[in-house]
Amino acid sequence: MKDLTETNQEPTLDEAIENLSHEDLLEITQSSIKRLVASDSLLSDLPVDVTPEEVLAQIAVAQGQSITVTILRYTESPLSVVIPQRQTTVLDLKKAIRRHFFLKQQRQKSKTKVSWRYIWRTFWLQNIANGKILDNDKQLVNFYGVANRSELRFVKRVTKGKRPKTC
């Protein structure tokens, strides 16, 4: 005959975890990550639904391996984009802007389609501090004076000899 204590015994942690559904495990994991991120002073300004890429980027900024560049847009809120500090080209910066904007749209549940080909054919990025236009995709961003906390803005492309319009 079995002992009563064996049949009324609480399930172990491993058994309890095995009985959880996939959705329950996802919720537990996400809430744990949110709690950890909120409690860390370096990561506390990250969004609630942070991606691993964003966490790694923020850690790289804290370690001095990456820089944060603010992209100012005419009527929209600015974008804070993290890029590696060394060997980053203008094309790498454009890809980082695209990724950041895509994540922002996902979080806002926006279904607006953006033609990045149109954006880059119509606008240049300009360093606000020195007025240099980032006009060569193969050039390193530090050539244009882009450093940590630099502010860039979109300017309308125009033919040579004419001054670009600020957007």
In this structure, what CATH number is given to the domain that contains residue 9? 3.10.20.90
Q: Evaluate whether residue 37 is within a structural domain.
A: yes
Q: Evaluate whether residue 97 is within a structural domain.
A: yes
Please give the helix or strand (H or E) that residue 95 lies within, else none.
Answer: helix 90-107
Q: Evaluate whether residue 165 is within a structural domain.
A: no
> How would residue 162 be classed by pLDDT, with cut points 50, 70 and 90?
low
Look at residue 20 and give its three-state secondary structure. Answer: coil
Structure tokens at 97: 């802007």
Q: Are 91 and 138 in contact (CB under 8 A)?
A: yes
Q: Evaluate whether residue 166 is within a structural domain.
A: no
Backbone torsions φ then ψ of 152, nearest 5 degrees: -120, 155
Lowest pLDDT segment from 52-56, 91-95, 130-134, 159-163: 159-163
Q: How far apart are CA 79 and CA 72, in angstroms?
A: 7
Residue 167 confidence (pLDDT): 62
Q: Evaluate whether residue 10 is within a structural domain.
A: yes
pTM score of the predicted model? 0.71
Output the CA angle 104-107-109, nearest 5 degrees: 105
Mean pLDDT of the chain: 86
Q: Evaluate whether residue 164 is within a structural domain.
A: no
Residue 14 confidence (pLDDT): 80
Q: Evaluate whether residue 132 is within a structural domain.
A: yes
Residue 164 confidence (pLDDT): 60
DSSP bridge pairs for 69 = 81
Backbone torsions φ then ψ of 148, nearest 5 degrees: -60, 135
Domain count along the chain: 1
Q: Evaluate whether residue 163 is within a structural domain.
A: no
At 108, the amino acid letter reads Q
**Residue with structure tokens 């001095």?**
64
Q: What is the pLDDT of residues 93-122, one digit of tens each?
A: 999 999 999 998 988 888 889 999 999 999
Indicate the length of the chain as a whole number: 167
Q: In which domain, by residue range, is 17 found?
A: 4-156
Strands (E), 1-160: 66-72, 79-84, 123-127, 133-134, 151-156
Q: What is the pLDDT of residues 39-69, one digit of tens each?
A: 887 677 777 777 888 888 888 888 889 999 9
Residue 132 confidence (pLDDT): 95
Look at residue 165 and give its three-state secondary structure. Answer: coil
Residues contacting residue 145 through CB under 8 Å, at least 6 positions apart: 127, 129, 130, 132
Residue 36 vs residue 79, higher pLDDT: 79
> How would residue 87 be classed by pLDDT, with cut points 50, 70 and 90?
very high
